[in-house]
Structures are given as structure tokens and as C-alpha cells.
Structure 1
Amino acid sequence: MNPDVLRFSPGAYLAPAVDWLNANFHPFFAALTKLIETVLGGIEAALLYPPAYAVIIAAVLLAGFLIGFRAATVTAIALAFCFLSGLWTASMQTLALVTVAVMISVLVAFPLGILASRYEKFEAASRPVLDIMQTVPPWVYLIPAVMLFSLGRVPAIIATIVYGIPPMLRLTTLAFNQVPKDLLELGQASGASPRSILLKIEIPSATPTLLVGLNQCILLSLAMVVLAGLVGAGGLGAEVTRGLTRMEMGLGLRAGLAIVAIAILLDRLSKGALQGRRIGRSATAA
């Protein structure tokens, strides 16, 4: 028997599907590309139009006012490193890309995680899908994204969103499943509406685990940044790729450390902002 007869080729089935999507939904993909480019361009302009020192000072003051001294210190060190390493423009491009990707990932994963915590059948059905999404090598996501959106920043963002959704969704489900039942019963007994229970009991109780999910989403999104440089997304990923192809260890190391600095910055700021908001709510309730 010819072994080629038994060979399974997923591409033989996926390629026609992608072609069909391109042929029938091209206006949708074009509109989505324009929307993402507009949002991304606006964030990049806000970060790159002012002088670098002005952005650093404003970010440090804002972090110190909203969160605290430690967050301001981390912000100053991270942004100063990006500036002094000569990668300010690439760093701001990466920061804008990751910010947009993480925001969309959270907006998609958070309600789906709540839904999965409410309905066991939905959680059971989503589990194998999430397993596959987390097991597939991340660069594989770039292939259909590039086929649908061409080269550039948009396929990089789409692939980053897909890669960042599973950890946030899983940990959102876990966070809401870990909310103490007695708190939920107390809220129901007091006549609180489902919306009030969600906002005043479940989300505050689930915040520590949600922070872990947000942290994982940020880190995985930044891990995709390097791969995004392969499809013309620019930013620090392009610098790492350039350092690899030219065998310039210094450039690759500087770009890699800048990615680490941005990861620490986003992690500390997001965690500090959410924890500060939770503390503020607790003080108000008391």
C-alpha cells in the first residue's frame, strides 16, 4: 500500500478555507486592519511625538501618583534603559503593540472565563480547544494571520492575541471558581443583584488569581514580539531578528534586555494599578 494514501495533510483542508475567507470576507479583514492600524498608530504617536525625557517624566509621575513610589522607580529604570540603549523608538512600538494585544486578549478572555465558570459544559468544551491553542508552537499562528492580513503589524497583533487568550481565560475561570461559596450565599441572601455580586464580591475576591492571568498574558505577548519581527511588525522583535541575522550579539542582547524591561514595567504597573484599586474599594466599603 502506498503510504502517501494514508498521509494526513491538514494544510490541504485549511488552505482552501483561508482562500474562501479571503475571497468572501476581504472587506471585513480590510476594515479590521484599518481599525487596528488606527488604534496602534494613535498609541505610537502619543508615545513617540513628545521627547523621550518628557514621556519618561510623565510616566514616572503618573505611576507614582496612581500607584506608589516603587512603581515610579520601576518605571524610571525601565524607560531609562530603553532610552539609553538607543532603542527608544523600537521600544515604544513594542509597548504599543503589546498594550493593544493584551487589552484585546483580556476583553475576549475575561467574559469567556466568567462564562466557563458558570457553565460546566462550556468549560469542558473549551478545555481541549485551549489545550491545543497552548500546545501549538506560537509561530504557527503567524501563518494564517499573514495569509489573511498580509505582512505587517496587524497579523503580529492577531497572532499575539490568539496566543495570549488561553492563559487569561483559564485563570479567569479558576479565579471565579475559587470565590468562597459563603460570600456568594451572603450576597444572594442580602438581595444583591447578580451584577452587584459580580462587581462587589466575585471580582474583588478573584483579583489575586486574575493578576496571575494578566501577568501570563503580558509575558506570552512579549514572547511573541520576537516572532512578530519576522513578519515586518517592527519594534524590538525586528531588532532581535536583525541581531540574529547579522550575528550582532550586542544588538540582540540590548533588544532582549529592553523586552525584559518592558515586561517588568507592564507587570508592575498592571499589578499595582489593580491592587491599588482593590485597596481603594475596600477602604470605601469600610
Structure 2
Amino acid sequence: MSLADILDPFKSWHLPFSQWVQDVLTWVVTNYRPLFQTLKWPFDKLLTAFNLGLNGIPPLVTIVFVGLVAWQIAGWRLALQVAGLLVVVGLLGIWGETMTTLSLVFTAVVFCMIVGIPLGVIAGRSERAAAIYRPILDTMQTIPSFVYLVPVVMLFGIGNVPGVIVTIIFALPPVIRLTALGIRQVPEEVVEAMRAFGATNNQLLFKAQLPLALPSILAGVNQTLMMSLSMVVVASMIAVGGLGQMVLRGIGRLDVGLAATGGIGIVILAVILDRLTQAAMSRRRQFGHVAWYRRGPASVFTTMLRPYSPSATQDWKAAGAELLSQNKGNDYERPA
């Protein structure tokens, strides 16, 4: 053995890690690929439902509906902004692609919430679980997003459903981490007081920990939304449709206009979803004492349905007070 070999032993000694991974993946694909094909069923059904719903509704109806929802949860100023951005999407000629991307994001976020919030609750209430989750979540967040594509394609194939699965894997860690953080930040005095009054673990969770951790959970959902949108272009490499496919085609053809149009659509979606989720958190703190049907468009509709009700005057007063408070500034930008 030469001096060079002694000083650099890694030239001849190294772990065949890549071969191990390839062998394990090949074994899984050979023996369990039909099982993974079966697991696509719930993702496929939910994605199809979102896609048919969003693409089947006329654009004008969608704009009005989303505007009313934005008014209800965020105020009329943001509702006008959201409606205007959706009009821009229609004028750019990318309405269908935008709705397809939105259905992919919604499907991924729904499954991230179904899986991530319970795991976050477990991690927040158990130090052992948190210690187990931490290296796994660190790995999921630091591995480049392109690495996820190879095993997912080998197990699930290509198309929109594998794209949703890749997006779920990529966007899952924030909702787990922030849910666990919110549970751990519940004041110990509250927990001790409820236990002193005989509260069970379920009562403690649903009546104290989850309500107090809700802002942190919503922040995790917001981050999951943003990460899902950031994965759209990467997922288009495995034949996922929508705006990401437009960007990929534009890059492949060196068509700057096509790529820029798809990119603007993704930015508009990100702005709409981010503003709505941020405003929902802010308004929950500001108007948490006002019933949902006594503010926004819901107050107008409920008052019209009950014009002679004794509470009609109170509803109108609540709606008026809300409008006055909104005229002083954007609700979603004001601290609690």
C-alpha cells in the first residue's frame, strides 16, 4: 500500500450506498408495485372531484363565489383584490391550467392536513415521538425535490396523481412541525388547571390545546400551500398538467412568453392563497367574538332572510361596525 493510498483511503474503500438503495427500490417495485398502484385510488378520486368541480364551473361564477368567500373571511378590500387577480388569470388565457394547478394543490393540502395535523399533535404531546420525527422531517426538508421523482415514478408511474404524491411528501413537514410547536406552546398553567378540574386527555386536547394552537396550525397550512405551489414546476417533469407544464414547455422550446405566462399564473395563485390564509388568521383574532353569520356577506343574507327578526337590527349594526373598522385599514395587515 502506497503513501497516497494511506492518505486517501476512500479511493478504494467506500460504502456502495447507491447500489443498496437501487436494490431495495428494485425489490419493492418487483414485489409490491400492485399495492402502490392500489394506494393511488383515494388521491385519484379526490383530485378528479376537485378538477371536475373547478373546471366545470363557469369562470364568472367562480370569480363571484371566491370573491364572496374572500369577503366573508378577509373583508371587502381583499375580496376586490382576489376577484381582480382572477380576472387577470382569465385575461391571460390560462384559466383551465390555473384551475388544474389549484386542484392539485388542494388535493395535496387536504392529505397533508389529514396526515400532518395528527402527527403534529402526537409530536407535541410526546417527546419520544418528537425525537423520532425530527431526523425524518429534517431529511424530507433537505433532500432536493428532484430526488423524490425517481422512486415515485417507479412505484406509481407518471401523471397527475403521482405529482400529487410527490407534492405531499415535499410539503408535509411544515404542518407537522408547526402543529407540534403550537401544542408545546400551550401555557402549562392551562393544562394544569384543566387536569385539576378532572379533564380527560381528549377534553384537554379538543377544548384547550387545539384551540390555543390553531394560529400555529394555520401557519403550517399556509406554509404547506406555498410549498405545494413551489413543487408544481418540478412535478411537471413527470407529466403533471397545469401551469407547471406550461413553464416546462416554455423552457424546452425557449419560449419566454409561454414560461412567463405560466410563472405569472403561479405567482397569482400564491398571492391569493397566502393573503386569504393570512387574513383568516388575523380576522379570527380580531372578530373572534362576532358570530360568522353576523359579519361579511353572510350578515347581509341572514338579515334579508329575517327582516322582521328582533336580531335583525343587531346584525346590521354588526355589519356596519365591521365596514367601519375595515375603512380604517386592511384587517389582514393589522395586528391583533
Cα shift readout 1:205-233 (whole Å, capped 9, x = no counterpart): 21222222112111111111010111100
Change (3 A) 1:267 1:200: farther
Structure 1 residue 137 and structure 2 residue 179: aligned? Answer: no
Equivalent-residue separation in structure 1 for 2:57 and 2:266 (angstroms): 21
CA apart distance, 1:3: 5.8
Aligned-partner Cα distance in 2 for 1:95–1:83: 14
Measure the CA separation in 2 of the matches of 1:56 and 1:28: 40
Measured after TM superposition, the shift of residue 71 of structure 1 is 4.2
Q: Secondary structure in 2 aligned to 1:6?
A: coil
Larger of the two Rg values belongs to structure: 2
1:119 lines up with 2:126 in the alignment: yes
Q: Which of 189, 200, 207 does residue 200 from structure 1 map onto? A: 207
Deviates more, 1:135-144 or 1:34-43: 34-43
Q: Distance in 1 between matches of 2:191 and 2:77?
A: 35
Indicate how the Cα distance of structure 1 residues 278 and 17 shifts in structure 2: closer, same or farther if over 3 A, else same: farther
Please, which of 28, 53, 78 is the counterpart of residue 85 of structure 2? 78
Structure 1 Cα separation of the partners of residues 185 and 50 of structure 2 = 36
Question: What residue in structure 2 maps to residue 213 of structure 1?
Answer: 220
SS in 2 for 1:179: coil
Alpha-carbon distance between aligned partners in 1 of 2:113 and 2:50, rounded to the nearest angstrom: 18
The residue number in structure 2 matching 1:39 is: 46
Tell me the distance in 2 between the aligned counterparts of 1:195 and 1:281: 24
Q: Contact 1:110 / 1:169 at 8 angstroms: preserved in 2?
A: yes
Residue 10 of structure 1 corresponds to 17
Q: Could you tell me how far 1:167 is from its partner in structure 2?
A: 1.6
Deviations 1:28-73 (A, max 9, x none): 2222223322221111111111221121112212332354324422
Show CA shifts across 1:55-94 (max 9, x none): 1112212332354324422431332222111111111111
The alignment's TM-score, normalised by the length of structure 1, stands at: 0.90
CA distance in 2, matches of 1:123, 1:148: 29
Q: State whether residues 92 and 261 of structure 2, in contact with CA within 8 Å, keep that contact through their aligned partners in structure 1.
A: yes
Summarize the alignment of residues 41-60 of structure 1 with structure 2, pairs less than 5 Å apart: 41-60=48-67
Separation in structure 2 between the aligned mates of residue 43 and residue 283 of structure 1, nearest angstrom: 31
1:193/1:77 CA distance change after superposition, 3 Å: farther
In 2, Cα distance between the equivalents of 1:86 and 1:250? 13
Residues 101-134 of structure 1 deviation map (CA, whole Å, 9 limit, x = unaligned)? 1111121111111111111122112211111111
29-38 or 115-124: bigger deviation:
29-38
Q: Is the 8 A contact 2:47 2:161 kept in 1?
A: no
1:156-171 aligned at under 5 Å gives the runs 156-171=163-178
Match of 1:93 among 92, 100, 104: 100
Q: Which residue of 1 aligns with 2:262?
A: 255
Given that 1:204 and 1:278 are in contact with CA atoms closer than 8 Å, whether structure 2 keeps it comes out as no
Secondary structure of the 2:211 match is: helix
* Amino-acid identity (%): 37
Root-mean-square deviation (CA), in Å?
A: 2.2
Q: Which amino acid aligns with 2:17?
A: P
Question: Between Structure 1 and Structure 2, how many residues are aligned?
Answer: 284
Q: Which amino acid aligns with 2:85?
A: A
Which deviations, in whole Å up to 9, do the C-alpha atoms of 1:254-286 show, x marking residues without a partner? 2112111111222233344456567776557xx
Asked whether the 8 Å contact 2:73–2:276 carries over to 1, the reply is no
Work out the CA distance in 2 between the residues paired with 1:55 and 1:255. Answer: 20
Q: So what's the TM-score if we normalise by structure 2?
A: 0.77
CA distance in 1, matches of 2:285, 2:154: 43
SS of 1:81 mapped into structure 2: helix
The gaps in structure 1 that reach 5 residues or longer are none
Match of 2:276 in 1: 269
d(CA) in 2 for partners of 1:92, 1:171: 28
Q: How much does 1:15 deviate?
A: 2.3
Contact 2:215 2:281 in 1 (8 A): no
| Alignment partners' CA distance in 1, 2:289 and 2:29 | 50
Alpha-carbon distance change, 5 to 151 in structure 1, aligned in 2, over 3 angstroms:
farther
Q: Is the 8 A contact 2:51 2:100 kept in 1?
A: yes
Q: Per chain length, whose mean CA-contact separation is higher, i.e. which structure has more relative contact order (CA < 8 Å, sep 6+)?
A: 1
Unaligned runs of 5+ in 2: 292-336
What SS is found at the alignment partner of 2:231? helix
Show the counterpart of 2:326. none
Once the two structures are superposed, the pairs formed by residues 174-253 of structure 1 within 5 Å of their partners are 174-253=181-260
Change (3 A) 1:64 1:205: same
